[in-house]
Amino acid sequence: MKQPYFLLVFLFVLSCERTPHNTKIYGEVFGTSYSVIYDADTDYGKQFDSIFAIINKSMSTYMPESDISKINRNETVEVDDHFIKVFNKSKEIYRFTEGAFDPSIGAVVNAWDFGPDGAIANLDSLKIDSLMRTVGFNRMGIRERRVVKEKQAFIDFNAIAKGYGVDVIAYFLESKHIDNYLVEIGGEIHCKGLNVEKQQPWKVGVEMPHFDGTQSIVKAIALDGSMATSGTYRKFRTDSIGNRFSHIIDTKTGYPSKTNLLSVSVIAEDCMTADGYATAFKSMGIAKTQSFLSAHPELKVFLIFENDNQELETLSLNGFPMD
C-alpha cells in the first residue's frame, strides 16, 4: 500500500529538477561588446560591470583619470594587482618574442591614429624616429607598486587588456562554483565545460577576413580554454590611393606592419596570454611565427593569409583544432 506514495514522491522530485538553461548577459566594455553565458540562475551583470570599472580605472588609456593615463603624464601612482599582472605578463611576452609585443609602442600607435589621442598631423619619418626613441618595454619596471619609466615613454595595454578582462570574469565565475560558461569580449574568448542547453562542448567560430565589415565564419571549433584573434581586417586605415595600413605597428620600425597575414588566432591556457601572442605573431609574420612555435608547443595557432595570387590560405600550427 505504500508504493503509490513513494511513486508520487519520486515523480514530484523529478518535476522539481532544474531544466538545463544558461543565463546570458550582454553589454559594452573596452570600446567593444561583451557576452557572458553560464550555467546558473543568478544574474551577475552588476558584478561584471563593477569588475570592468575597476579594470578601466587601472588600465584604460581612453580615461584621463585612469592610473595608466596618470602614469603616462608622469604622475605618481600606486598601481593595483590588475595592472601588475598585466605588466608582468606583457614583460614575459615582450622577452619571449624579442620585442615583437611591446606595450611601450603606444605613442607611435597614437601617431598613426589608432589610439585615444588622435593622429599627428603631417606624420613623417623624422617624427616617427623621434617617437621610436621612447619605445622599449625593457626600460620599464615596477618598484614598490610604482612604474619606473623614462619621462617621454607611453604605456598602452590595449593589445592585451581585453584578454585579461575575459580571464577576470572567468575567475569570478569559478569563484561562484560555475563550471560551464563562455566569456567573450570583442572576440577574445574563454570557455569551460559544456553548453548545458545543448549538452555539447562550446563551439566558437574563426572569422573569415572581410575588409567591408561583413562577417562570416571560416571554421568552427569546440573550445575548452582560451582563444584570441588579431586581424588587420578588423581595424585599419586607408590612404588617398587605397593602400591599407594595419593597426599593428612594427615595434622595430614604427610603421604599420607589412605582412600578408590577415588573421592570427591563438589558443592558450589563459586569454591574456593568447591576446598578447596574437598581436605579436601578426607583427612577426608567418616564418618567424612558425619558428617561434616550434619551441612553444603550449600555443596552438591558426593563420589566414594571402598567397602570391592574392588568394586566401590557412595554416594550422601546433595542433590547432581542424573542426
Chain segment 37-76, per-residue pLDDT in tens: 999 999 999 999 999 999 999 999 999 999 999 999 999 9
The x, y and z cell numbers of residue 153, run together, are: 615613454
> At residue 7, does pLDDT exceed 60?
no
User: Binning pLDDT at 50, 70 and 90, where does residue 8 land?
Assistant: very low
Identify the pLDDT of residue 48.
98
Residue 83 confidence class, pLDDT cut points 50, 70, 90: very high
pLDDT digits (tens, 9 = 90+) for 150-200: 888 889 999 999 999 999 999 999 999 999 999 999 999 999 999 999 999
**Residue 29: is its pLDDT beyond 50?**
yes
What is the predicted pLDDT for the residue at 12? 44
pLDDT of 14 reads: 43
Angle between helices 271-284 and 286-293 (to 10 degrees): 130
pLDDT score of 202: 96
Q: Which residues contact 256 (CB under 8 A, 6 or more apart)?
A: 112, 237, 245, 246, 247, 248, 249, 250
Confidence of residue 2 (pLDDT cuts 50, 70, 90): very low
How far apart CA 206 and CA 217 sit, in angstroms, is: 6
Question: CA nearest 208: which of 223, 219, 224?
Answer: 219
Q: Report the C-alpha gap between 216 and 210 in whole angstroms.
A: 8
CA 218/CA 303 separation, integer angstroms? 11
Share of the chain above pLDDT 70, in %: 75
Mean pLDDT of the chain: 85
Name residue 186's amino acid: G
Residue 130, C-alpha cell as written in the block: 623621434
Pick the CATH number of 202-323 from 3.40.50.2000, 3.40.1190.10, 3.40.50.12780, 3.10.520.10: 3.10.520.10
Q: What residues have CB less than 8 Å from 231, skipping those under 6 apart?
A: 207, 209, 262, 263, 264, 282, 304
Residue closest to 284 by CA, chosen among 268, 296, 298, 271: 296
Summarised one tens digit per residue, pLDDT across range 198-257 is 999 999 988 877 555 556 677 799 999 999 998 765 555 555 445 555 556 766 665 676
Per-residue confidence band for 119, with pLDDT thresholds at 50, 70 and 90: low
Of residues 144 and 126, more confidence is placed in 144
pLDDT score recorded for residue 276:
97
Residue 187 burial class via C-beta count within 10 angstroms: exposed 0-12, middle 13-18, buried 19 and up: buried
pLDDT (mean) for 101-124? 66
Q: Who's near 258: CB < 8 A, 6+ residues apart?
A: 246, 250
